[in-house]
Structures are given as structure tokens and as C-alpha cells.
Structure 1
Amino acid sequence: MSGEFEAAGGIVTGGLIGRALEPRAGEHGGEAHGPGALCLNCGTALIGPNCHQCGQSGHVHRSLGAIGHEILHGVAHFEGKLWRTLPLLAWRPGELTRRYVEGERARFVSPMAIFLFSIFTMFAVFQIVGLQPPSDINTGLGTTEMIAEMRQEAVDRRADSIKERDERKADDPKRARYEKRIADAEATIRQLDSIPKSAINGRARVTHIQSGWYALDHGFEKWQKNPSLMLYKLQTSVYKFSWLLIPLSLPFVWLLFFWKRQYHLYDHTVFITYSIAFMSLLFIVITLASAIGVSEGWIVAASLILPPLHLLRQMQQAYSLRWLSATLRTIVMLFFITIIVSIFLTLLVVMGSLG
């Protein structure tokens, strides 16, 4: 039950953070007031529902229910913008991207606001349905091949260190560094050779495998001692650092259009942010569909077909491309996405190991 409450809190938090970033232009501000009414914030005479000087609504609530009203607007309403944005994001994403870039922004939720809302909601839904890292990972090495591979790596590391040491003069202070690497490699080899054959296919464990970089070695040790905890931290890092996908994707999208001077980095950023937000919302729908028992075949088909089709449609509409041109760019972009995700996960693993 505590997990469900925590997940619900995540949804609320995502909505409120997104709401904090969302401009309030174009929203209803409350009832208009009669002549002579003053803004309660700055004292300016009101000529409409909102103060034209500071922007505050002329109608303010002063009740406990007003707090709930603010939360509901923050999470679900975005003062009506969300319900104008979602249909376009789902069916005409390129039109939404182009209209926002060209300046039609008061009607729609901004890319970053809906991105934050969708990311928080996605991970909250994952938690509600029980998508968590496994807690009983076997930390054993397992097979003879894996041990042999680790031993060979240690042998190669020792040989390289010996070569580097011998190429330096006797008074070179860097020789000590290579002496230490040689000693560490030999210790690893002895440790691997000492594993009983009867334990090789069981839960044999090897620790203190050294790379020569203390921070990275410490990270390896943490992964080896408690992989379940490290996987949980990795999941949390995905949740916290998902925004990195935007700058990581930007140069790849730019490569698809770098010779078209009418498109700027801002345009590509809006395209990327709306696209990631849709994919997060799609994952939410697929996860919920799986949880209520929708056929696995439909789930797999939706997961494989809808993302590239949506990307194709958004690219064709946003950049006013012919279908053939949009299709070719989409194929290239799908390849780029594998690179982007690999870089993203590598960064998270390295940050988790170092920190």
C-alpha cells in the first residue's frame, strides 16, 4: 500500500512541477469584477478577470477546498491546456510541434511541462503495477567460460603493464604505478585459479577485480556485492536524469536537417521533447493494458509499431516533408535512437559506479 501512495505522490509531484514551468497565458482567470475593483496583489484597477499589471486573478479563493482545487489543476487540468494538447500529441504531433514553434503557445502545454508530467506519471505507474528491479539476483560467476575470460583479461592487463614498466627508466616515478597494476593483476589471477572446480557452476564469487582506477573499481565492487540495489539506483537515475535524453538527441536530429537553414536548434528541441513525452505516455498505456490482461500479442504489436509510426508522422508534419523523405529520416533516426539510449544508459551506469 505504501508503494501505491508513493506512486500517487510521484504523479502529483510531476504535475505540480510541470505546472510550475507552464505559462499561464491563455487560461481562464476567474470572474470579471465591476468598476472600481482593485487587484489584491498590486492595487491596480481591474479591467478584466486578471490584473493587466501583475497577472494575478481578480477572483481569489480563501478556503481549504481551494488547496485541492490548485492540486487538481496542477495535476490534471493545466487549466484546460492538457486536453487541447493530448489529442494533437497523439494524432497530429507534427502539427502540434510546428504550431508551438511558430508561436501558438497559449493554447497548449509547453513541451517541458508535459515532458515532466509524463515522466513522473510513467514511473509512478510502473511502481503501481509492480515493475521493479529483481531483488534476488545471483551474484555468482557461474560458468567456466566466464572465469576463463576474466583470467585472460587479467593476464593481458599484466602483460601490458609489464611492457609499459619496462619502457620507462628506473628512476621514472610512473614505474610504481605499473608495478601496482602488475601486482593487482597477479593477485586476480591467483584468486581465479584458487576457485574450486566444484564451485565454478554454483555461486562462486570473485571480488577485488582491479582496473587501476580506484573510483571505477569501487563501483565494480558495489555492483558485485549488491546488484539488486545498484539496479534500483539505476532505475532511480533513469527517473531523475531522463531530461538528459533531450540534449543527447539534439545533435542527431540536427544532423537530419543541418542543411535546412529555416530550422533551428530550438525547433529540434521542441520536436524531441514532445516526442519523448508521447513515448512516455504510450508506455503508460501499454503498461496499464498489460496489467488489465490485454493479449500479449497486442501489447508487443503496439510496442513495435506505434513508436516508429508516431515518429514518422511527427517528422513529416513538423518539417513539412514528403512521405519518402520522412520515411528515410525516420529509419535513420531509429538507428540514432539506439545510439542515444546506449550513451544514456552508459552514462547512468558510470555515474552510479562512481557515485
Structure 2
Amino acid sequence: MNGGIEAAGDIATGALIGRAVESEAGEQHGQGTHGGGLCLNCGTALQGEFCFACGQTVHIHNTLHSLFHDLLHGVFHFEGKIWRTLPMLFRRPGQLTRRYIAGERARFISPLALFLFSVFLMVATIETIGGPFFAKSHVKGPDKVLVSGKVAEQLKQARATETALVAERKRLNKADADTDAVDEKIDGVREQIKALRATGVAIDTANTDMAKLKVDTGNAFIDDRAAHVLKEPRYYAYKLQSTAYKFSWALIPISLPFIWLLFAFRRDVGPYDHAIFAIYSLSAMTLGVVGLSILRWIGIPGTLIWLAIAIGGPFHMYRQLKGAYGLTRGGALWRTAALVLFAGLACALFFALLVGFLVGPASE
């Protein structure tokens, strides 16, 4: 139950954040005063439904009902654009990319808003039902399922903190004192315990002594971090899962140089075109993970999931490349093959940077 509520909260947050960065071009608002008065924001004389100086709408809501209406409108409607954007994102991704670049902004969700929403939706899905390669496991039973080392030590400390806080709350109750502050701390430490216990089922490495593996790249910086990851693979697998989405935006600048290489000698496309292409493509792949996670959760075999990834991803890249850049079939095919390779390199670089960030400075 709590997981479902948290997932709904993540989705709502994603919709609201996406709405916050989404333009209001072409949207319809309630009736306001036409052609008279002054803008309440900047004082400019009004000549329509919007102030031409600052862009504020003439019709201003100032009731509690309107506040909740705006909240629900932002979460559930997303101004209706999402229902026009998503079908094109998967059926005609190249046409969507081309039309947005050409200036059709009022009909579709902007790439960045869609990307933010899709990331939050993916996080909510994985936290609730699991990912496309593993079903969600509800951790039960004793804490011995956890690996020893850093995770076990952190769990032990969190348990001790919880015990101390519960005792403090009992003392405050007996004294008829306020317990709000200590209750908040207890909730926080219990969330920490829940996350640490989930680490024990993040990936199945219980029978693998990965700490014995040695990595020798000739670079002390890389070797040190690889040794840390191999020593506590479950811990860092969980950290990657819980942290990757926060830095998912970094995939955009990482991807741009690779896309530019595919069109290095074309002068009719530039960095902006490549950025729109990359963000819409990443949004489609992220939403694809959501769909595959749901299929995995309802019992679709893992083999079919892998097949969908192997075929669906490249096929979508092909369709988007061909339509967005006006390519011939042959030109789209070789660029798709190169883009698949580049996507793998970009993901590897992204996770390498993320692991380096999570491990931190080289230890003694």
C-alpha cells in the first residue's frame, strides 16, 4: 500500500515538474477581461488575454478551489499535450522530432518536460513492481539476507538509532511532552532501514566472491574504485539504482557528441536539432523501460523482454533517424547501427562516471 502511494507521489511530482518547464503556447484559459485594464504583474496596459510585456494571463484565479484545480490539471491533464505526443513518439518519432524543431510547439510536450516526466514515471514503476530484468521482491525475514561489510554495519547502526529514538519517544510520552520531532526522526531512520534491507535483494551475488577479482587498467583511480565496487557489489548496485535517475539528465550532453559524429558533414542540422533528437529518444527509451517492467511484472518471460529490447530499441532509432533527418533507407540503417554502438558507449561512460562519484575519493 505504502509503495503504491509513494509511486503515485513520484508520478505526480514528475507531472508537476514537467508542467513547470512546459510552455503555455496555444493553451486555452478561462474567460478574462479583453482589451482593458492593467496587468496585475507589471502594470502594462492590457490588449488581450495575455500581457504582451510579461506574458501573464489576464484571468487570475484567487480561490482555494482554483488552487486545487491547477494542481489536478497539472498532474492529470498535462494540458492534453501528452496524448498527442506519446502516440507520435512511438509511431512516428522522426516526424515528431522534425515538427517540433520546425516550430510546432503548441501541440506537443517539449522534449525536456517529457523527459523529466518519463524519468519520474520509470523510478515510480521500478520502485513499485521492479524493472524489466527482475521482479520486485518484498524483503521479509531476518536481516541475514544482507551481505556483510558496509551494508551490514550501516544497518546495525540504523537499528541502534531506531531503538534509542523509540526509547526517547516513550520517555517523552510519559512526561506528556511533544513527540513530533522524534517521530519524524523515527520515520526517517525506518526509511533508511528499509532501503538498506532492500540492498540485500538488489542483485543476486550471495554466492560470488567478487572481492577476489582484480582489475588492472593501469590507472590507479579506476582500479581503486573498481575494487570498492567488487568488494560490495550489492551495495553499489542499490546505490546505482537509487541514484542514477537523479543524474539521468547527464545522458543528454554525453550523447550529443556521438550524434554529431553521425552528421559531421551536414550543414543543415546543428546542435539544437541533435539535442531535440536525443531528448525525445531518451524519453522513448525510458518509457519503454516502464512498459517492459509492467510486462515483466505480469509474467512475460525474460527471453521475450530481451527480444523486445534487441529489436524495439534499434527499430525506434531507425524510424526517428530516418524521419527527423530526412535520410534514405540506407543512410538510416548504417547510422542506426552506429547509434546503437554509440548508445552503449554513452551508457558505459555515464555509469562509469556515476560509480566514480558514488565511490568517492580513493581510500587509504
Distance in 2 of aligned mates of 1:34 and 1:333: 51
The answer as to whether partners of 2:18 and 2:117 remain within 8 angstroms in 1 is yes
The whole-number CA distance in structure 2 between the counterparts of 1:319 and 1:237 is 34
Q: Which amino acid aligns with 1:4?
A: G
Distance change in 2, residues 1:84/1:37 (3 Å): farther
- Which residue in 1 is equivalent to 2:71? 71
Q: Could you tell me how far 1:267 is from its partner in structure 2?
A: 0.6
In the superposition, relative to structure 1, how do residues 212 and 40 fare at CA in structure 2: closer, same or farther (>3 Å)?
A: closer
2:353 is matched with 347
The one-character-per-residue Cα deviations of 1:312-349 (angstroms, maximum 9, x if unpaired) are 00000000001111011101111111111111111111
Query: Are 1:28 and 2:93 counterparts?
Result: no
Deviation at 1:300, TM superposition (A): 3.8
- Counterpart code for 1:62: N
Distance 1:43 1:260 in 2: 47
1:113-140 deviations in whole A, cap 9, x for unaligned? 1111111111111111144665156567
Task: Give the root-mean-square deviation of aligned CA atoms.
Answer: 3.0
Residues 35 and 25 (structure 1 numbering): CA distance in 2 closer, same or farther, change over 3 Å?
A: closer
1:186 is matched with none
Partner in structure 1 of residue 171 of structure 2 = none
| SS class of match (2:319) | helix
| Deviation readout 1:186-208 (Å, 9 max, x if unpaired) | xxxxxxxxxxxxxxxxxxxxxxx
Contact 2:44 2:53 in 1 (8 A): yes
Instruction: Number of aligned residue pairs: give it.
Output: 294
Map of 2:252 onto structure 1: 246
Q: Which of 184, 200, 204 matches 1:135? A: 200
Aligned to 1:2: 2
Instruction: Label 1:40 to 1:333 Cα distance change in 2 as closer, same or farther (>3 A).
Output: same
Unaligned runs of 5+ in 2: 137-197
Q: 1:289 aligns with which of 281, 289, 295?
A: 295
Flag the 1:142–1:296 CA change in 2: closer, same or farther, 3 A.
closer
SS of 1:263's equivalent in the other structure is: coil
Comparing 24-33 with 308-317, greater Cα deviation is found at 24-33
From 255, 264, 288, give the equivalent of 2:261.
255
Q: 1: CA distance between counterparts of 2:312 and 2:224?
A: 41
Give the whole-Å Cα distance in 1 for the aligned partners of 2:36 and 2:254.
54
Relative to structure 1, the CA distance from residue 221 to residue 335 in structure 2 (aligned partners, 3 Å threshold; closer, same or farther) is closer
Q: 2:2 is aligned with what amino acid?
A: S
Question: Following the alignment from structure 1 to structure 2, what is the Cα–Cα distance between the partners of residues 251 and 141?
Answer: 38
Identity of aligned residues (%): 44
State the alpha-carbon separation in 2 of the partners of residues 85 and 139 from structure 1.
Answer: 44
Question: Structure 1 residue 308: deviation in Å?
Answer: 1.1
Deviations 1:279-310 (A, max 9, x none): 11111122122223346565443332221111
- 1:1-355 → structure 2 map (5 Å cutoff): 1-33=1-33, 36=36, 38-131=38-131, 134-136=199-201, 142=209, 147=212, 150=214, 217=224, 220-221=227-228, 224=231, 226-294=232-300, 298-354=304-360
Alignment partner, residue 165 of structure 1:
none
The answer as to whether partners of 2:17 and 2:117 remain within 8 angstroms in 1 is: yes
**Residue pair 1:29, 1:58 contacting (<8 A) in 2 also:** no
How far the C-alpha of 1:62 sits from its partner, in A, is 2.8
SS of corresponding position for 1:104: coil
Structure of higher CA gyration radius:
1
Q: TM-score, normalization: structure 2?
A: 0.71
